[in-house]
Structure 1
Amino acid sequence: MELGKVQKLKVESKKDRKIILTDNENNRVNLAIGEGENLKVGDEVEAFVYNIHDEFEATLKKPFAQVGDLKKLKVVDKAKIGYFVDNGIGKDIFLPFKESYGRLTVGGEYLLYLYHDKSNRLALTMNIKDKLKVNENYKVNDIVKGTIYSIGRPGAFVAIENKYDGMIPAEEIKGIYRIGDEVEARVQRILQSGFITLTLREKAYKQIDADADLILELLEENDGVLELGDKSNPEIIKDLTGLSKKAYKRAVGHLYKNRLINIYDTKIELKHGRK
């Protein structure tokens, strides 16, 4: 009998509200009370086997995840040593603090992997990096969707389509994304290992209008002047605009070409009538 799996079992006995199921090796398990009232002895059913205290129990309800599955599941409660997560069967699965990243929100959904712990109990983990594949499906400039499963110094790690591993560099996420968020991004690079680097930015010729609009908004918020020039430190430009120096200069050039701004050595300024 496989813990954490949907499997075919037979009704061995039925007395009052107690139904016992058995597998081909004569392993027995109780069916959850209140389920299978119309079943008869000898009927074959598909049941999910889970832990109830120190015993196994079965349910006819379909779980959201089985052992070995990587699924986005909802946190429904918090305890002293971890979280409880809804798996669709009426009995929540435990996610220990040591298997979680950051502070999770009750009601939030996170990408989780279902497994057996050392005590042969069902448990969940957010440590899924080794469960993800390297690229075998995408090429540079493909647009993909994924779920952020971890955030660290290099950036936000993303499970692309919840199957492949990728990362958005830290300078692009700007502190506005959290673990569990879904993102749409462009494949920027594919390393020899198959690891994918993602970017939230469009290709340069598509991105330039959006960047130029951002600069205009910043100018309007700062009385028509930005104290940024051609020789400004790239980090200062990044802090003030969120853009790389290259992207900033490209956007400024676009605005200047369209006669919307004046450019000086140490600043840019909206043309009269734009303030």
Structure 2
Amino acid sequence: MRQTVCIVTGSSSGVGAATARLMASRGARVVINYARSADAAEAVAASCRELGGEALVCQADVSQDADCRRLVAQTLAQWGRIDALVNNAGTTKFVAHGDLEGLDEADFHNIYGVNVIGAFQMVRAARAALTASGCAAVVNVASIAGVKGVGSSIAYAASKGALITMTMSLARVLGPEIRVNAVCPGFIEGEWLAEGMGQAVYDQTRAYLRAKTPLQVTCTAETVAESILSFIDSHSVVTGQHLVLDGGHLLL
């Protein structure tokens, strides 16, 4: 991984930050991207440098094509190449699935704009540089919601299902120079999910999954990052696949 250049979108916290730190610990050059959380992004970059990697902080809203192209241009201006892209930026609205009135057209556009269109625009902007790398990897951070159809909202689950499908579509046309895969985490421990679900529901759900799933575990940002890294650093004959990280939740 030494001097591998990787863009990680939405990397000021959570899975994105954990991925950036893990890659930096292996000697990678990492682009820390944020939309609004500048201070948090700078803190992640500082930790990446302490771990032995290089870091570049770039503001960009991936739902905006011009921002995606600027992010790629800044990366190339800094390091002259791009070897990996992790499409981690995502958004949702927590709405019970039975509450159909709880989602409107704007909610769908906002969620799809980041979760699906944003990932596509980042791949499109980085395609030439990734192709020039010769052995590049794109990892899309989807969700078990896209496989199971259950998540923070129907719009979110649908967007992650679309991202899984797009992973296959892109893999068909970007090889052999670029591999495209997706990770689909289940319940991820952390403040973001606790705030969205509410602490009581979060605690109940975590306890249930730890008791009932075959492996009796739930994901952390760090365990998801490990799987993302594996798609970048190994699995050289794998493309168009999605890996479910759920401790066996789908088997219930």
Report TM bin, short chain: under 0.3
Structure with higher RCO (Cα < 8 A, 6+ apart):
2
Q: TM-score, normalised by structure 2?
A: 0.20
From the CA coordinates, give the structure whose radius of gyration is larger.
Answer: 1
TM-score (norm. length: structure 1): 0.19
Query: Which one has the bigger helix percentage?
Result: 2
